[in-house]
Amino acid sequence: MTIKYETIDVLEMTPKCGGFIEGVDLSQDISNQQFKEIYNAVVDRVVVIFRGQKLTPKQHISFSKKFGKTQASAVSGFEKNTDYPEIDNLAYDADNPPHVTRDLWHTDFAGREKPTWGTLLYAREIPPEGGDTIWVNNVAAYEALSDRMKQHIDGLTAYHDSYRPYGETIRPEMWEDGGESLGRLKTERSIYRPALHPVVRTHPDSGKKGLFVNESMTTKIKELDFRESDYLLRFLFDHLRTPEFQYRHKWEADDLAIWDNRTSLHYALFDYDQYRLMHRIVIEGDVPYQ
């Protein structure tokens, strides 16, 4: 279905997640009304995609900054773009696999006090096969829970550890091969403290509730005994994989995706051999609340 705003049309990709926005050239100035509608579409659809955008890094940065402050990656295995510190280079192939985005559902920087609200990922080079990304709508996942389960998780809080996906036993290859990003991780780790966030997060704009846990970083529910916590988290992680809440995107070069990390998880498939280069900018969010 197509949702008609005043200045943009949003083509829904699945009933619960994803939208294509057409007819906008992001290399040009956009009006305040267009910006507002794009923002609302991100909140509503969780992730939106613009195809065929020809953006220089500067244009990518200036468009991203309309959404807020770019967020310094306190904990990240990504390489920084040497010319543009706001941009992370996600540059991978079969010989240089991604350390952290692959095979773990996550939301960006959940382990910080103020997790990322939005990510603007721009596809520069896409392999001929593979490398899709999947998003899941956490509001849809929350709303599909039974009333009894909603009562059970109401008011719970959970710890999010940004280092978990980089752990020595989870990504041993990263620790074995050493390198620049490992040195940075070790330094940052010594001053880092995990963040505590509500399990049910209210979206500040829509007022809707969504699940705010992810298998990559969420380690324990504070109010529960370890085994209770483990059991409940495993159920929630599993529930968050339900295909009906998802959209899976097949990238083309020059696609720009914007997603709302407050109400979604994503998963980057590592099923490609050839080079894939994405430019990523993350925007700082607010302190989550239920």
**CB-nearest residue to Mn ion:** 108
In the set 99, 106, 164, 249, the catalytic residue is: 106
Query: What is the Cα Rg of the chain in Å?
Result: 18
Give the ranges where the chain is alpha helix by DSSP (H): 32-45, 57-65, 138-143, 147-153, 172-176, 180-191, 226-239
**Contact of 258 with 118, CB cutoff 8 Å:** yes
The option from ligand OGA, Mn ion, none interacting with 53 (CB < 5 to 8 A, set by class) reads none
Supply 236's token pair.
């929630």
- Report the nearest approach of Mn ion to the CB of residue 266 (Å): 6
**Contact of 254 with 59, CB cutoff 8 Å:** no
The option from ligand OGA, Mn ion, none interacting with 280 (CB < 5 to 8 A, set by class) reads ligand OGA
**Contact of 112 with 196, CB cutoff 8 Å:** no
Of 34 and 246, the one with the shorter C-beta distance to ligand OGA is 246
In the set 108, 161, 255, 260, the catalytic residue is: 108
Of 199 and 268, the one with the shorter C-beta distance to ligand OGA is 268
Of 26 and 100, the one with the shorter C-beta distance to Mn ion is 100
- Report the nearest approach of ligand OGA to the CB of residue 119 (Å): 5
Supply 129's token pair.
């096969």
- Report the nearest approach of Mn ion to the CB of residue 263 (Å): 14
Catalytic residue list contains 106? yes
Catalytic residue list contains 108? yes
- Binding mask 50-89 vs Mn ion (x if CB under 5 A, - otherwise)? ----------------------------------------
The option from ligand OGA, Mn ion, none interacting with 116 (CB < 5 to 8 A, set by class) reads none
Q: Calculate the alpha carbon distances from 104 to 92, 239, 269 in Å.
A: 16, 14, 9
Supply 258's token pair.
């914007």
The DSSP-derived string for 175-210 is HHS--HHHHHHHHHHHH---EEEESEEE-TTT--EE
Catalytic residue list contains 280? yes
Of 37 and 108, the one with the shorter C-beta distance to Mn ion is 108
The option from ligand OGA, Mn ion, none interacting with 211 (CB < 5 to 8 A, set by class) reads none
Residue type, 257: A
- Report the nearest approach of ligand OGA to the CB of residue 90 (Å): 5
d(CA 165, CA 265): 15
Supply 95's token pair.
């010989």
DSSP category for residue 89: E
Of 86 and 108, the one with the shorter C-beta distance to Mn ion is 108
Supply 224's token pair.
């529960």
Which residues here bind ligand OGA, judged by CB under 6 A?
A: 90, 101, 108, 119, 121, 133, 266, 268, 278, 280
Q: Pick from 108, 161, 215, 255: which binds Mn ion (CB under 5 A)?
A: 108
Residues that bind Mn ion (CB under 5 A): 108
Catalytic residues: 106, 108, 266, 280
